[in-house]
Structure 1
């Protein structure tokens, strides 16, 4: 797909996209716990490229909120009774002046989403500066007050990640695939994950992404990681 300004605006206005959903696996019960929504286009376009171009064209907020509302719309009826829904959102969207109005509109149109949707804060390098903005933290509190959960996406074992968690502890922390790749053969990675699931963060639920082998899944369960996600469990798909 040629991502010029006209194409992206047409994509947003006419909702020329859909969502696939990937399960998060509950390791203690061996059942699906939640699903994460991913935007898709036909023909396929890398979502990272899609959002990158939308930012360059000044329509990132419009695309991000359209993707969120469409994910909620396409989530099958009755699934929220059983499984939480994780939706990605950029910090710049959270801090946007119209974001509270957008959230209130979602709650009016979809009353059932209260206490059922997790806003997964996108770890985008171009938006790192928002994390030190008190207004951004206030908006995270606003989401919680409205009945949503907060997740930090794509964290790794480093000072920046730890600082973010201590500054505003999320309900869920998603560790990226660099933490899980070859986990079964890396004592260092096992120790790092052990820190995140320790009593240091009692109120936070850890999700380990990028589980792509049976051995890594087994070790992650042995480490006590509550939730797992990855191609070995299931790829994103239509529901």
Structure 2
């Protein structure tokens, strides 16, 4: 933790965070359209000894995660304006309720190409949250509930919100060769299909996993078997 605090302190600014941040782009593939339809934008930090997850957890502990969310949005804006490919950024529930974040989205050019993946972080006010989600939809921004159904209140949150797009947590695919796990995964997919959700399966690493997901009619897939994250330079060559 000491090394993390050297990198991320309570006084860190968005400008200082930008100096150690890079972004990569991981493809999301449509099984129906048989092509890449979007990319998830992932944060990477210039530190060999500390993981991205550790830095993000430290930012959350210090209530500074919004700085990262704002910065990633700033970095992808030029791609949203120049390309028709959809880009998904990870945003915390706390950030989505900040007026400053919503104001930035109102000024954003190319918002129809933006997707926001929300990771659950504790309890929140459903009324305020649903009002915010409605505003995002009016701006043409798709909202995705990430890491479903991991988390003590994730299912409840999904039921009480207007979110339609759902990404199933990667860990649920790990033991999919076992019949019990297959039934559980299929049950989750059926639950989501009953509410007409667009379903993304993340963490696809083998041909067998992909074939299983095709059989149960998942909409979108993501993972190293589909495509590893590419650098910002590589993405620019493909789409700009």
Fold-level similarity (TM above 0.5):
yes
Residue 4 of structure 1: SS of its match in structure 2? helix
Cα shift at 1:93: 0.3
The equivalent of 2:118 in structure 1 is: 121
Structure 1 moving runs of 4+ over 6 Å: none
Task: Please report how far the alpha carbon of residue 28 of structure 1 lies from its aligned counterpart in structure 2 after TM superposition.
Answer: 1.6
User: How many residues are treated as equivalent by the alignment?
Assistant: 225
* 1:18–1:70 contact (8 Å) kept in structure 2: no
Structure 2 matches for 1:86-235, cutoff 5 A? 86-105=88-107, 107=108, 111=109, 113-123=110-120, 127-130=121-124, 132-156=125-149, 160-185=153-178, 186-196=181-191, 198=193, 200-202=194-196, 204-235=197-228
The yes-or-no answer on 1:30 pairing with 2:34 is yes
Q: Please, which moves more after superposition, 164-173 or 214-223? A: 164-173
Aligned 8 A contact 2:97 2:128 in 1 = yes
TM-score (norm 1): 0.83
What TM-score do the two structures reach when normalised by structure 2? 0.82
The answer on whether the counterparts of 1:114 and 1:146 sit within 8 Å (CA) in structure 2 is yes
> What's the RMSD between the two structures over aligned residues?
2.6
Of stretches 188-197 and 93-102 in structure 1, the one that deviates more from structure 2 is: 188-197
Match of 1:53 among 54, 58, 81: 58
Shift of 1:210: 0.9
From the superposition, tell whether residues 150 and 47 of structure 1 become closer, same or farther in structure 2 (CA, over 3 Å). Answer: same
**Residues 72-105 of structure 1, C-alpha deviations (whole Å, 9 max, x = no match):** 34x4874x31x21111100000112322222223
Which runs of no fewer than 5 residues in structure 2 stay unpaired?
Answer: 236-240
Residue 4 of structure 2 is matched in structure 1 by 3
Does the aligned pair in 2 maintain the 1:155–1:161 contact within 8 Å? Answer: yes
Using the TM superposition, give the Cα deviation of residue 61 of structure 1 relative to its aligned residue in structure 2, in angstroms. 1.5
- Counterparts of 1:233 and 1:139 in 2: how far apart (Å)? 33
Q: Displacement of 1:36 after TM fit?
A: 0.1
Shift of 1:35: 0.2
Q: Is the 8 A contact 1:150 1:170 kept in 2?
A: yes
Q: Deviations over 1:9-48 (max 9, x none)?
A: 6673142211101011111222101100001122344222
Distance 1:164 1:57 in 2: 24
Deviation at 1:7, TM superposition (A): 4.6
Superposed displacement of residue 3, structure 1: 2.8
5+ residue gaps, structure 1, are: none
